[in-house]
Structure 1
């Protein structure tokens, strides 16, 4: 069920009405409703996926209890949880990748093995809820949280529909206690949630989907595209993937707010970052902090000698790339970001900037830094978007050898340019400590601005394609 679908337009008000109609003292009944709604939401794609998320929930619920109960054997249950979660993730997401890669290596040395591959359906959002439940058992093991004894609350935590299929990847320490807290309807929280949903739909339907109409034909026809078209395709894909993914996160946080829940911020205007290190503190925050806390720090982080710290950085970025998909292009994307990041780490400049200390009016130096960082990030997106490594290099090659200007210069219309300008202005208003909706909270014209945003969605949003969110494939 897509957030930008008619089905969800009917589903959300029904869940909202039923949820707030239940006696606020009956927390368990509210959780049961959310659990049923979440399974309906998830099963809308394919009911077979429900068995997997159910098994995942059962394993980690039992493991959490046993880790807390059996001090002598708690490590065994943690290992079982990790192997079970990563085993299911590895099978559904990476089985054919490893088979095909092994066959390619053997064929390169003259061996022709019998290849075995399966038509495995990738469950939507498996990477997201797997990491979410893994963090639960690891935190119980490290005694950062207590294991929950309420299976309904835990199963609802795992399958909570607003953030189930594309994040944010919530920590149990933040989200799980909210399923035990009495909810009081808060008009301000619900109002802000509606505004976030509106802004998320703008990002997805107006920016991402309209960019996709230009980006997809360019990436599908690299050889015939002009050099300028290829350059435009790269930059528009940067806006597409940001509008698509951050739009989903905004809608997810907004929907959760309507139900009285608070999810973590997943994006903080990352394209206004002044270096790659700052970019990763502002892009997909729930994933980057997950790898920091559960991979980078356990490996020693930056507290070890420099060569080991650099190794740890490479491991984190390579794993981050591999998390996105079973393709060497994602590994290359992660490795490229590691290469961009390491000079900042070595020169001890990886903590110079934070979004909070960015002024509303940038200096000339900041403008240059922002543009340079955006170009580096966009460069890496070519690998992320390409089907193969060779396709990515062919893309760069096409920029250099293809005729620079296209025969028909109208492919990059004024509408998308105007929409991106409006988008960037609003994003810049939200750059730093507050988002743009918080900045205009006391502005007497704020309602007019929201109506204009809604107007743009209606008249310029993409309704016919009903495109999936990009991160559903991860």
Structure 2
């Protein structure tokens, strides 16, 4: 079920009414409603994949209980590894099996040996990378003693399958979300209004900006061999805007929806395109995944405490694994490697934590130095996103090669062909202005001075709703991160 669909527009109010007006007196019934509603939400795509998430839920529920009820460290470790191997095993089969088989076949073919191997004709379950990491964090935290295992299966099932963030995050930690299922939730008008405001902004980013940028970005990437470098750069720029608005838009809707039900999810984006260096960018982009890899991979490997070679090794591991998490394609691995290369000079010079605060925190506009820092970081990010979007390494290399050719200085006359509209350019500029002046809040509309007036506020909300209705496509448009 898509957030930007009529199905969800009906589903959400129904669940909301049942949650607050029918089951509001019994916490167990509320949690059961959340679990059942989440299974309906997930099964809307393909009910067959419900068996996977239910199996993972049962597995890690019993693993958690098993770890705490055994006093032998060796048995605790065995139980943890059972959870890791089975969960990552499912992820490996559904997401990476064909990738490894195809590359195994290609490697032997390169050496002059032809082998017969069969690929699997399987569909990638939606959200498997997200809920797999969520259940793994539970088992690991129980093993480390950071969390007491739950004895309530309904609460645990609701935590694993919580529908607002089930499909594309944020990847919640059990230490944050699971305890919220133990507390009685009371309806808060203020919290609900805040949630609706964040949902509105998320829909604007997805429907108005991301989906419309996608039309032109897709055309340019699919016809890159016929277009000059200037147009290809515009295509990369549009995809850079698209992927941020698409993914952060999903996170805004997820967090806002959670607020409607009295839950607080972690912040997943913190205005990353206003970053002054790559280290700051990765502290602000997909925060739930970045911190997951930091806590469960980077720090256990030694983090930044070892010598130079250890720091380099750990940096490349975490970025390459992060790239591979996104998809079974060499383009994602190169994308991760490229970001590691960007990050290393900052780490080795101890400058990776230079920019911890908000850019231009006490000013309305950035300084000239900050402006150039943001521009440089943004250009590096655009370059990396080309690998992320390209169909193959050859496609990415040819795309970049054309951008770096003299055709970059040719007028992008082909824009007449793709029909890039001035209204979209205006909306993109408007979007960045709102993000800039709202950068001190949890999301753009959370802390904007000109929205203090009630008349202006409601006029602005009406304008956003109008734009969403005007630019919404009649056919359903998936979120980019559903494929991961």
Q: What TM-score range do you get, normalising by the shorter chain?
A: over 0.9
Once the two structures are superposed, residues 66-95 of structure 1 have per-residue CA deviations (whole angstroms, 9 ceiling, x without a partner) of 011112111110010000110000000000
Alignment partners' CA distance in 1, 2:68 and 2:50:
27
Alignment of 1:217-228 (within 5 A): 217-228=219-230
Instruction: Determine whether 1:415 maps to 2:423.
Output: yes
Once the two structures are superposed, residues 162-185 of structure 1 have per-residue CA deviations (whole angstroms, 9 ceiling, x without a partner) of 000000000001100111110100
Once the two structures are superposed, residues 385-406 of structure 1 have per-residue CA deviations (whole angstroms, 9 ceiling, x without a partner) of 0111111001012224474334
Instruction: Determine whether 1:3 maps to 2:3.
Output: yes
Match of 2:389 in 1: 385
Instruction: Give the number of equivalent residue pairs.
Output: 473
Alignment of 1:51-62 (within 5 A): 51-62=51-62
Match of 2:468 among 454, 457, 468: 457
Once the two structures are superposed, residues 12-49 of structure 1 have per-residue CA deviations (whole angstroms, 9 ceiling, x without a partner) of 00000000013434111111111111001000000111
Match of 1:397 in 2: 401
Alignment partners' CA distance in 2, 1:320 and 1:79:
21
Alignment partners' CA distance in 1, 2:5 and 2:246:
15
Cα contact 1:43–1:50 (8 A) shared by 2: yes
Instruction: Determine whether 1:468 maps to 2:470.
Output: no
Alignment partners' CA distance in 1, 2:177 and 2:359:
28
Let me know the Cα RMSD of the aligned residues: 1.3
Match of 1:41 in 2: 41
Q: Structure 1's 51 and 390: CA in aligned 2 closer, same or farther, altered over 3 A?
A: same
* Greater Cα offset, 20-29 or 270-279: 20-29
Instruction: Determine whether 1:194 maps to 2:196.
Output: yes
Alignment partners' CA distance in 1, 2:96 and 2:47:
22
Once the two structures are superposed, residues 298-356 of structure 1 have per-residue CA deviations (whole angstroms, 9 ceiling, x without a partner) of 00101111210111011000000000000010000000000000000011110000243
Match of 1:19 in 2: 19
Residue 361 of structure 1 aligns to a residue whose secondary structure is coil
Alignment partners' CA distance in 2, 1:436 and 1:137:
35
Alignment partners' CA distance in 2, 1:255 and 1:452:
21
Please, which runs of 5 or more residues in structure 1 have no aligned partner?
none
* Greater Cα offset, 131-140 or 461-470: 461-470
Alignment partners' CA distance in 2, 1:145 and 1:450:
41
Residue 326 of structure 1 aligns to a residue whose secondary structure is coil
Residue 12 of structure 1 aligns to a residue whose secondary structure is helix
Match of 2:31 in 1: 31
Alignment partners' CA distance in 2, 1:464 and 1:336:
38
Instruction: Determine whether 1:351 maps to 2:357.
Output: no
Match of 1:115 in 2: 117
Runs of 4+ in 1 over 6 A off after TM superposition: none
Cα contact 2:440–2:447 (8 A) shared by 1: no
Once the two structures are superposed, residues 76-127 of structure 1 have per-residue CA deviations (whole angstroms, 9 ceiling, x without a partner) of 1001000011000000000000000111111110010002101111000000
What TM-score, normalized by structure 2, do the two folds share? Answer: 0.96
Alignment of 1:71-470 (within 5 A): 71-72=71-72, 73-356=75-358, 358-359=360-361, 360-401=364-405, 403=407, 404-410=410-416, 411-432=419-440, 434-440=442-448, 442-444=452-454, 445-459=456-470, 461-470=471-480
Cα contact 1:357–1:432 (8 A) shared by 2: no
CA offset at residue 407 of structure 1? 4.1
Residue 71 of structure 1 aligns to a residue whose secondary structure is coil
* Greater Cα offset, 197-206 or 306-315: 306-315
Residue 145 of structure 2 aligns to a residue whose secondary structure is coil
Q: Structure 1's 361 and 211: CA in aligned 2 closer, same or farther, altered over 3 A?
A: same
Residue 356 of structure 1 aligns to a residue whose secondary structure is coil
Alignment partners' CA distance in 1, 2:412 and 2:447:
42
Cα contact 1:22–1:29 (8 A) shared by 2: no
CA offset at residue 377 of structure 1? 0.5
CA offset at residue 443 of structure 1? 3.5
CA offset at residue 253 of structure 1? 0.4
Residue 453 of structure 2 aligns to a residue whose secondary structure is coil
Residue 208 of structure 1 aligns to a residue whose secondary structure is helix
* Greater Cα offset, 314-323 or 393-402: 393-402
Please, which runs of 5 or more residues in structure 2 have no aligned partner?
none
Q: Structure 1's 293 and 113: CA in aligned 2 closer, same or farther, altered over 3 A?
A: same
Cα contact 1:38–1:161 (8 A) shared by 2: yes
Q: Structure 1's 117 and 349: CA in aligned 2 closer, same or farther, altered over 3 A?
A: same
